[in-house]
Structure 1
Amino acid sequence: MIGYLQELLSRTPPDPVRLPLTNSHGTVLAILISYLLLVKVVGPKLMESRKPFDLRGVIKVYNIVQIIYNVILCACSAFLMLGPGNYNFNCIENLPLDHEWKNFERWTSYAYYFNKYMDLLETFFFVLRKKNQQISFLHVFHHVIMVFLCYWYLFQYGYGGHGFFMISLNVVVHIMMYAYYYQSSLNPSVRANLWWKKYMTIIQLVQFGIVLSHSTYILRRGECTALTTTARAGTIFSTIFIILFLNFYIRAYVLPKKKVVQKTSK
């Protein structure tokens, strides 16, 4: 196992084009460790004796930027996969290095990776607003693992391919998610009562279900050996996320209803 990890970390990236934050394990790990310390230890400690910041205007702008960013990313992804990239969804491989649309694939893949760093800002907003209860294990784990998985994939397998398919699904979810955040930011008092709030978690579960199904399909075919590792990773992490998000859904929406029913029946 140790030998495999050493080989994995010392492997030469398959794509010679290394965009910012895609060439150093140490840099990415340092960023993620700093993030964890700031949002779980340093930030809450500094805010302990301070009043929460009013960031309503900043958050509205942030949500709008995220919506526009992800809409453009979604359009670029669909265009590439269904158009000049001509992806074979039975075995989605990276475009060859000499393909005329390779740079488009690189930058679209990298744009998604960079967006995972943008997502980290959401946690800092919670810290500055003293919403520490929202900095849950699920929230932090999801942000950290998405940054690391994106980096790991780009470093080990290059830009595009099976990972590109999986991130395209996530982009669609993010458009709906930040649209919800923006709507709720217009009137925070109605946030808890927005009728489609719980469906965001269901949509995320559907996304993970699709990734799990497609990854399992690739592994069972056995013909697409180049994607075996990424398909295994997709299977493992989609299963983990299904468990975590399903647990959140049950605790947030199912158990409270049962308590209400029990109270009214007494």
Structure 2
Amino acid sequence: MELPFFPALFSTVKSLVVKQPFFPTLEDWLVNHPKILEFSWINGQTPGASQRFVTLTIFAYISFTFILSQVSRPSLARPVLKSISAVHNIFLLTLSFTMALGCLVSIFSQVPNFNTLVCFPKRTSPSGPLFFWAYIFYLSKIVEFMDTLLIILGNSMKRLSFLHVYHHSMVVIMCYLCLDSVQSAFSVVLITNCIVHVVMYTYYLMCTLGIRPKWKKMVTDFQLLQFWASFLIMAMLVFYHFTGSGCSGILSWCFNAVFIVSLLFLFSDFHAKSYSPKVKGN
């Protein structure tokens, strides 16, 4: 059984995109490269693919964040800090764009229909281009720990909120579970998250360069929109799971559902406190 509208839309967009003259070139670079095409996630063998690695990584992140936020720290010269921040933002902006594009091209190249995109068949192997980009996405969330270090080194402690640390910690666990359980629809969530991060790191980069864009609120709006889009995709996953032969990774879906609900609540609270008329009036 299929949902109306979305399968037809997917087929139409796919047929249009693959006919474009630039698509074969993108496919060669982002899908058919041997390192991407032959990728396979193997627990205990692929670097970072173990519960021990995730546990130690999260523990180290939280511990160092707490310690560095409490002790006196050597202050970096402002030009040095701005240079490091600029390089960091450019790197993550570029990486987010590449991951979104790579995953999108992989979908149009490798996924036959909308049903398969949302609901991987049971016993799907975590290998190939889609899982390569999911793996890079997982590693990028560890690189994003640098956000926290830059906040601490810049003495911007007001930005070091519970939401910030919670989000950075839990998203690594989410990515690991999605890869290890071969969760369906994760590639769609990856694309939406990377698009939001392109906007977000563009904003951070402009701030670092001394430009204060007037669309700060739009960054948070995009994040909230991303969570609602994730709910829609996850609802589709459940629909296909219970109306068909089942979808891969349904157990990790439960973790992600709780995680996204918590993020929606926390970001909505942040949005209300930051952009309400009462706050603006103060």
Per the normalisation by structure 2, the TM-score is: 0.75
Counterpart of 1:80, as a letter, is S
Equivalence for 2:32: none
The question of 1:60 aligning with 2:90 is answered no
Equivalence for 2:119: 92
Q: 1:33 to 1:53 in 2, by over 3 A?
A: farther
Check conservation: 2:177, 2:252, Cα contact below 8 A.
no
Counterpart of 2:258, as a letter, is I
Counterpart of 1:223, as a letter, is T
Equivalence for 2:267: 245
Equivalence for 2:137: 112
Equivalence for 2:29: none
CA distance in 2, matches of 1:249, 1:97: 39
2:71 to 25, 30, 46: 46
Equivalence for 1:208: 227
Check conservation: 1:43, 1:127, Cα contact below 8 A.
yes
CA distance in 1, matches of 2:102, 2:279: 46
Counterpart of 2:88, as a letter, is Y
Deviation at 1:195, TM superposition (A): 1.5
Q: 1:130 to 1:76 in 2, by over 3 A?
A: same
Counterpart of 1:185, as a letter, is T
Deviation at 1:105, TM superposition (A): 2.4
Counterpart of 1:245, as a letter, is F
CA distance in 1, matches of 2:280, 2:131: 51
Check conservation: 1:63, 1:178, Cα contact below 8 A.
yes
Deviation at 1:66, TM superposition (A): 0.9
Deviation at 1:153, TM superposition (A): 1.9
Deviation at 1:53, TM superposition (A): 4.6
Q: 1:45 to 1:15 in 2, by over 3 A?
A: closer
Deviation at 1:259, TM superposition (A): 5.3
Deviation at 1:15, TM superposition (A): 5.4
1:11-49 Cα offsets, whole Å, 9 max, x none, are: xxx954742111x21221111111111112x2123335x
Check conservation: 2:131, 2:179, Cα contact below 8 A.
no
Query: What is the total number of aligned residue pairs between the two structures?
Result: 235
Q: 1:203 to 1:19 in 2, by over 3 A?
A: same
Q: 1:46 to 1:72 in 2, by over 3 A?
A: same
The question of 1:168 aligning with 2:194 is answered no
Equivalent residue runs for 1:215-226 within 5 Å:
215-221=234-240, 222-224=242-244, 225-226=246-247
Deviation at 1:258, TM superposition (A): 1.8
Deviation at 1:62, TM superposition (A): 0.9
Equivalence for 2:48: 21
Q: Please identify, of 196-205 and 223-232, the stretch whose mean Cα deviation from structure 2 is larger.
A: 223-232
The percent identity for this pair of structures is: 20
Deviation at 1:200, TM superposition (A): 0.6
Gaps of 5+ in 1: 1-13
